[in-house]
Amino acid sequence: MTPGAWDGFKTGQQVSRRPERAPPCSGNASIQMLRATVMDVDKNRVAATFREIVVLTLAPGLVGLLILVSWALAHWQIGPGLVSGALALVAVLLGGLQRFQAGFKDMQNRRITVNVFVTVALIATVAVGEFRAAAVIVFIMSVAGALESYTLDKSRKSIRNLLDLTPRTASVRRGDEEITVPVEEIQIGDTVVVRPGEQIPVDGTVVAGASSVNQAPITGESMPVEKFPGSEVFSGTSNEAGRLEIRTLKTGQDTTLARIVHLVEVAQETKAPIQNVADRFTAWFLPLVVVLAILAYFTSGDIKVAVSVLLVACPCAFAIATPTAVTAGISNMARRAVLVKGGIFFELAGKLDTLLVDKTGTFTLGRPKVVDLVGLDGKPEEEILRLAAIAEKYSEHPLARSVVSLARERGVETPDPDTFKTETGMGVVAWWEGAEILVGKSTFLRDHDIALDDEVERALESQALKGRTAVLVAHETKVIGILAIADGIRPGTRRAIATLKQSLGIARVVMLTGDNAQVAEAVAKEIGVDAFQAGLLPEEKQQIVREFQQEGHLVGMVGDGINDAPSLVLADVGIAMGAAGTDAAIEAADVTLMNDDLGRVVEFVEMSRKVFRRIKLNIFFSIAYNAVGLVLATLGMLTPVLAVIFQEAGCVTVVLSSTLLLWARPRRHGELANG
């Protein structure tokens, strides 16, 4: 990230980072094409998942059963010995088929991996007639592979729910008539009619009507935005109040919503996997073991000594050192309402130095809330709230609902108004007990000939500086109070941020938001982030992630909305707020907080460090067993069966070590902050 860009963060200045637009699709491009493509991808993924369940669950079970039957036949001498040996060989072929295929493929590509090592050891074991020993190795590797695949394959599914925000049909004005047409048939320039409660199907400009539109899924704004003629609207946003007529500017794949889908797909392709530690280890370990096996054969003159060297050196324990620790860590976190989609994210989270966090729905609750009551003209707070709730009682506006909700929480009685009238986007006029009550913006009150004195103006300015929406309450032509409405801060947010920085070594916590700069600055000061950036669109958030990464930072991203999905995918670790988050954000993320508790981010980072330390300890155990076993086998002190038992002991040690993570308890962020 350039120095100038970081200066923009520090000041809260809105710095443009808008990437070049992707080339538009042809004129007939439509949401239907996107939806069909995504559904095809879904079908393929479901089929792949079914195959994985069969291969990774049934195959190890059958291999284990065949080994038991083979051992029982040989132990009690039931039937000819050929049968027990054949069963063990079938177990080797059944359980090791994928491993053999991968090993030979890696050999063709001149890559020395664990698969190559296992293939060589198994072929040598089978060649000297140790079928059951080979089957045991296959079984261990199959179970380890199943554990790892089960964890890592719980990955991103589809982004179909993004497209579900767009309605399948829309009302279009053609001449003097309104007709319902499939959304794919809407043309640039058409006038689309959107009624209260409906989703907006296109990007365009309002030409008639006024309403409040919830566009948080696209822009991240915490409050519904008032729309009037000339206002811009986005596909996938929700019309909450009045009737709108919209001139269509973009349809199908050119809409902001469809571009978000495209950004997610591109970001998924840019995240490259980190090379497996075991593969790097075997690159030099396999040639060394082969040399030792050859030397052991020429020294002893016994081919079984050479096979024992290969068997005891088989890096089974090394191969499961990571997946078993990861599986235990994932299970531990799942009990704490944190879902982790892969072991690599434990490693990465423990090394994060930069954490980018979306504001709306993450730091904040994502819904308007009355945060302050300012009494004027000597009126008590309860009376102001009572009169405002009476006037707003039947309004469907989100701000009105927050007023009525507060009155209900405080037990304030709110009788029905005698009359009630809403002026969309401005306020409410009600009559009760012969007196007029007005609740709304300052311009609304002035339009009704209600004067605002210096005290009122100062109070309004004070609330604006705090990033709050100020609603005036007037009774009998006099302003009696102000309701300050804002998006409430999540409990424990400031403490969680302090813990991440002070106790867990996160160097920088930056807040990103589509909200305006005043609101962002107020929230940033309250929660204690290092910097913030306001007025961002989805592609701008993604560009910020990319810039930090290009500077060499390891970046985590926490978000909840559809607009966060591209950034969640691109970040080194994407963390979605699950309960309040959209399905798209959850699917795009690497980690999901199911209960929207930011303290869980702290627990996840701490558990990541525990898991990574345990992986390194497991690797130490596996190498130690391999080293001791190689010495014993080279000296001819291990038969092939004893060699298998010895290397199994290494596996058991690693599994027990990893299992301890199931009961590891990450301290809450308050405990961490206190030392």
Catalytic-residue membership of 597: no
H or E, element range at 555? strand 555-559
Comparing C-alpha atoms, which of 304, 323, 342, 344 is closest to residue 141? Answer: 323
At residue 2, what is the residue type?
T
d(CA 131, CA 116): 19
Half-sphere exposure of 350 (CA within 13 A, CB side): 14
Hey, is 339 helix, strand or coil?
strand
d(CA 365, CA 669): 20
d(CA 165, CA 142): 42
**What is the b/e burial string over 32-44, where b = at least 16 CB atoms within 10 angstroms of the residue's CB?**
bebbeebeeeeee
d(CA 657, CA 278): 18
Hey, is 155 helix, strand or coil?
coil
Half-sphere exposure of 390 (CA within 13 A, CB side): 24
Catalytic: which of 190, 203, 358, 596?
A: 358
Tokens at 218, concatenated? 């696209």
Alpha-carbon distances of 407 from 188, 384, 400, 412, rounded to whole Å: 46, 10, 11, 5
Length of the chain: 675
Pair 29, 252: CB distance under 8 Å:
yes
DSSP state of 416: P
Which residue's structure tokens are 């009572």? Answer: 386
d(CA 206, CA 189): 12
Catalytically active residues are 358
